[in-house]
Structure 1
Amino acid sequence: MASMMADDFSPLDPESGAQHGGVQSVDRAITVLEILARTGDAGVSEIAEEMGVHKSTASRLLSALDARGMVQQNSERGKYQLGFNILRLASAIPSRLSLVKEARPELEDLVGKFGETVNLAVLRSHYAVNVDQAMGPSTLATQDWIGGLTPLHATSSGKVLLAAVSAEVRSRILAEAGLEPYTQRTITSRDELEKQLAGINEAGYATSYEELEPGLNAVAVPVRNHRGVVIGSVSISGPAFRFDPERIPGLIDELKQAGHSISAKMGYIDA
């Protein structure tokens, strides 16, 4: 009995043990939900093992969540999965989330780490529209891209957005937009573009080397919503003479992490 009580509460603050025991229970309940969101379903033993608690503790947590409709037990397999009340709660969130607001700290963090301009873009018609920007400190990084309509096939953000849509939607977009050559390096072949887009989905990022403007390079990653749909892209751009994104140590990994962080704030759970 003493072991069970210690496992359930283990207060962090001896002066407010009951309060912190309750906080720990809430934390554990959230952990159960996160496990089920990641795995799809899990049994009591699996959850207990992953959390490092007694089976009895995991069972009580699941029973409490089941009573509130947050989880439900599969009658055939005996495992638990997320319940329908999770959907009811989640449905109230997306309309209240602001992509620009949630992304802003990540944009500023990237500027602080790499000193180049960082943009947040979304798809509008057949353009990538920059909806927010964090400027780098260099006097060379002074162009204001906010509100600018940029071509999808000639920008890193645009390629990320193009790669995320279905082949049917992409065909319609490109039929309307065309493949205008902005520089000698702009991709104007549909076959070549499709090959690059396939590689983008596999690599998780897109690049643009002087394809929109001579002397301007950029790299971008996707941002997803709670359904896993790409709703935007985050890019870093800079002068070609100093900015080669695939040769700057850690840059692409940090950019990907920023994309994941923003996506998580928008409700996305990476399985």
Structure 2
Amino acid sequence: MTAESKKGSSVIRALEIIEAVAQAERPLSPADISLLLDIPKPSVHRILQQLVAEGYLQANMRGLMIPAERLHKTALGILFASRFKASRQAILQNLADITGETCGISIPNGIEMIYYDRVQTNWPLQLHLPVGSHTPIWCTASGKLYLSSLTEERRRRILKNLPLTQYARNTLTTPEALEIELQQIADNDIGTDNEEFVDGLVAVSVPIRDQKGRLAACLFTHAPVLRKTLDDLLAFEPVLKQAASQLQELTG
């Protein structure tokens, strides 16, 4: 085997390991990866060390492999590639025209949601959160929708360790109260924020799913209560879900 082909084999193995970890329903051990991909354990350990050093994978507290920050950024870059920006903005603009309010896309990132894209209305009274802003998952419509999409066991582990800071008058600050609401959100498949993140602001969110049906991002709209109530925003659920389907097709 030539040096070039050996290098190619190593690259392919690294990509296969990244793919396996990214698609796994649970964190994988080096032994799991070796068995799953039929790669010798010494090779697996060597490649994992390189992937961890480069920031693509990381070990959790049990020493199992999970995606790291660099892999998250790569995945998001692929999922919402710039070549889709015009189409994505057109969908958001149409939705903003229908709702009369700011609409955008947020993406889960640990215990926060990241504002990835948005179209803002021209009302003088509105919440200004620029693209790239980080918001908490326990008191925002998109964050609660993301939490509701997790398995009950995983969700409860997360809720147990969240700070649950009270940001506004209606912020839910106990895991028990939040779990009850998350179960309702899971049943309805629409996230809500009833003045829980910012006093005087309401929001709703629907999922944008990947090809396996998992929540990949959230499509949201929010408004000050002086203009719209939470029920007013919930009435836009059909058009929100239609726009979410269009966004899903872009990335599919």
TM-score range, shorter chain: 0.5 to 0.7
Residue 98 of structure 1 corresponds to 80
The SS at the match of 1:234 is strand
Corresponding position: 1:129 with 2:111: no
The SS at the match of 1:139 is coil
Corresponding position: 1:171 with 2:156: yes
Change beyond 3 A, Cα 1:167–1:178: farther
Q: How far apart in 2 are the matches of 1:153 and 1:95?
A: 25
- Alpha-carbon distance, 1:113 to partner: 1.2
Aligned equivalent of 1:140, options 125, 144, 152: 125
Q: How far apart in 1 are the matches of 2:211 and 2:77?
A: 11
Q: Check conservation: 1:221, 1:235, Cα contact below 8 A.
A: yes
Corresponding position: 1:239 with 2:224: yes
Change beyond 3 A, Cα 1:179–1:249: closer
Change beyond 3 A, Cα 1:137–1:198: same
Matches within 5 A, 1:63-102: 96-98=78-80, 101=85
The SS at the match of 1:128 is strand
- Alpha-carbon distance, 1:157 to partner: 0.6
Change beyond 3 A, Cα 1:229–1:249: closer
- Alpha-carbon distance, 1:260 to partner: 2.0
Change beyond 3 A, Cα 1:222–1:248: closer
Change beyond 3 A, Cα 1:117–1:153: same
Corresponding position: 1:212 with 2:212: no
Is the radius of gyration larger for structure 1 or structure 2? 1
- Alpha-carbon distance, 1:207 to partner: 1.0
Identity of aligned pairs, percent?
A: 28
Q: How far apart in 1 are the matches of 2:77 and 2:170?
A: 40
Q: Check conservation: 2:160, 2:175, Cα contact below 8 A.
A: no
Q: How far apart in 1 are the matches of 2:249 and 2:99?
A: 23
Q: How far apart in 2 are the matches of 1:202 and 1:103?
A: 28
Residue 115 of structure 1 corresponds to 100
Q: How far apart in 2 are the matches of 1:249 and 1:149?
A: 24
| TM-score, reference length from structure 1 | 0.59
Aligned residues: 174
Letter in 1 for 2:231: E
Where does the alignment leave 5 or more consecutive residues of structure 1 unmatched? 1-93
- Alpha-carbon distance, 1:193 to partner: 1.2
Change beyond 3 A, Cα 1:200–1:103: farther
Q: How far apart in 2 are the matches of 1:209 and 1:261?
A: 27
Letter in 1 for 2:130: W
Shifted more, 153-162 versus 187-196: the winner is 187-196
Change beyond 3 A, Cα 1:158–1:142: closer
Shifted more, 178-187 versus 160-169: the winner is 160-169
| TM-score, reference length from structure 2 | 0.63
Q: How far apart in 1 are the matches of 2:170 and 2:77?
A: 40
Residue 255 of structure 1 corresponds to 240
Q: Check conservation: 1:115, 1:137, Cα contact below 8 A.
A: no
User: Per-residue CA shift, 1:135-167, capped at 9, x if unaligned?
Assistant: 012111361332111111110010111111223
Letter in 2 for 1:174: L
Q: How far apart in 1 are the matches of 2:116 and 2:193?
A: 19
CA RMSD of aligned residues (A): 2.2
The SS at the match of 1:179 is coil
Residue 25 of structure 1 corresponds to none
Residue 138 of structure 2 corresponds to 153
Q: How far apart in 2 are the matches of 1:115 and 1:223?
A: 21
User: Per-residue CA shift, 1:113-133, capped at 9, x if unaligned?
Assistant: 122111210111110111111
Q: How far apart in 2 are the matches of 1:199 and 1:249?
A: 14
The SS at the match of 1:214 is coil
The SS at the match of 1:220 is strand
Letter in 1 for 2:223: G
Change beyond 3 A, Cα 1:198–1:230: same
Q: How far apart in 2 are the matches of 1:246 and 1:201?
A: 18
- Alpha-carbon distance, 1:95 to partner: 8.0
Q: How far apart in 1 are the matches of 2:227 and 2:95?
A: 17
